[in-house]
Structure 1
Amino acid sequence: MSGTADALGQAPDQPVHAVLALGANLGDPAATLSQAVQDLADTPGITLTGTSPRAVTAAVGGPAGQPDYLNQVLTVSTTLSPRALLAACQAVEQAHHRTRDVRWGPRTLDVDVIAYGQLRSEHPELTLPHPRARERAFVLAPWSWLDPEAMLEGARVAELADQAADAGTVRREESR
């Protein structure tokens, strides 16, 4: 465990490819996602390399009656350690008034680190790849729209998206 904890704090020698998932269902989710993408792109040590089309999805888990979510996946190149990348994501959440009152409850913004290069971590602070990403079409579908060849733990992301229990609830946001 201490080896994993050490790896989480270790800045890479070379930039690392990472995948981030964003979601929002309170306030103005479209404006929040646009600003959050800009906030992340403006963070030293993070270079935005791709943004997916947005997905509109029903809430998965949590209290009933939540508004639909707007979800998006970003790919970045980062020189930040995994822990520092997580801290940057959490700082962006805080800037958008994220509260953690109810697990899987409605939120102004959620930013998850889905993958950080090939790093595997079972540390409670940051599990990588994200422990539920393989089963969440609201993450997998936008990721596959961004990168149809993307892989997660040896499986094609697009295939995982099609097999996810929530696959039928994910649709592309209509252009404005």
Structure 2
Amino acid sequence: MRLQALSGPHRAVLALGSNLGNRRENLQGAIDALADTPGVRVNVVSPLYITQAVGGPEDQPEYFNAVVIVDTFLPPEMLLDRAHAVEEAFQRVRTEHWGPRTLDVDIIVYGDEVSDDPQLTIPHPRAHERAFVLAPWVDADPEAEIPGHGRAVDLLVKLGTAGVERRDDLELRLPE
């Protein structure tokens, strides 16, 4: 099913991750780049989390993860294009599935949109199984829900938070 361009603004949740380079600066740079995008307003930045790599090759460095909540006038496909452009600006290289990366920007939800489009599945197909997405998201929005899966806080309780550590000493800021 092809996603439609919707009028807006629409609330979207994006998950950010980095396990190469200066991870905190990579995440903050992604937040700033998203905020500089016409048609995107970053409203909420979660606390930063340090997490173990999930899937992919073993012996990866720990990830820094966060979630941002945005209002956007961009349709989902254009928001995805922007997310990829931000990754590329931070030298994201896609050589190994779930391999280490300087930056990962994933659209988790876009309004109440549900789509099985192979280019952009919404909600993100594994978000409900990922504590590294759910923990910062629940901090950013305790009432968060994933269409078709339920409340993020309930999903997080089921999963547990082993390997997911909130780091209040490593601050990410909302752009001015």
Normalising by structure 1, what TM-score?
Answer: 0.93
Residue 156 of structure 1 aligns to which amino acid in structure 2? R
CA deviation after TM superposition for structure 1 residue 162, in Å: 2.1
**Ranges in structure 2 where 5+ consecutive residues have no aligned partner:** 171-176
1:40–1:46: 8 Å Cα contact kept in structure 2? yes
Alignment partners' CA distance in 2, 1:146 and 1:81: 23
2:174 aligns with: none
Kindly indicate which of the two structures has a greater share of residues assigned to helix.
Answer: 1
2:53 aligns with: 59
2:68 aligns with: 74
Alignment partners' CA distance in 2, 1:40 and 1:6: 21
Alignment partners' CA distance in 2, 1:162 and 1:67: 26
Normalising by structure 2, what TM-score?
Answer: 0.93
1:168 aligns with: 162
CA deviation after TM superposition for structure 1 residue 6, in Å: 4.8
1:119–1:129: 8 Å Cα contact kept in structure 2? yes
Aligned 1:10-159 pairs, distance under 5 A: 10=5, 12-153=6-147, 155-159=150-154
Residues 57-93 of structure 1 show CA distances to partners (whole Å, capped at 9, x for unaligned) of: 0000111100100000000000001000000000000
- Secondary structure of the residue that 1:134 maps to in structure 2? helix
RMSD (Å), alpha carbons: 1.2
CA deviation after TM superposition for structure 1 residue 19, in Å: 0.3
Alignment partners' CA distance in 1, 2:78 and 2:60: 31
Question: Identical aligned pairs, as a percentage?
Answer: 48
- Secondary structure of the residue that 1:5 maps to in structure 2? coil
Structure 1's consecutive aligned runs of 4 or more residues displaced over 2 angstroms after TM superposition are: none
1:137–1:162: 8 Å Cα contact kept in structure 2? no
Residue 101 of structure 2 aligns to which amino acid in structure 1? R
- Secondary structure of the residue that 2:2 maps to in structure 1? helix
Alignment partners' CA distance in 2, 1:14 and 1:39: 20
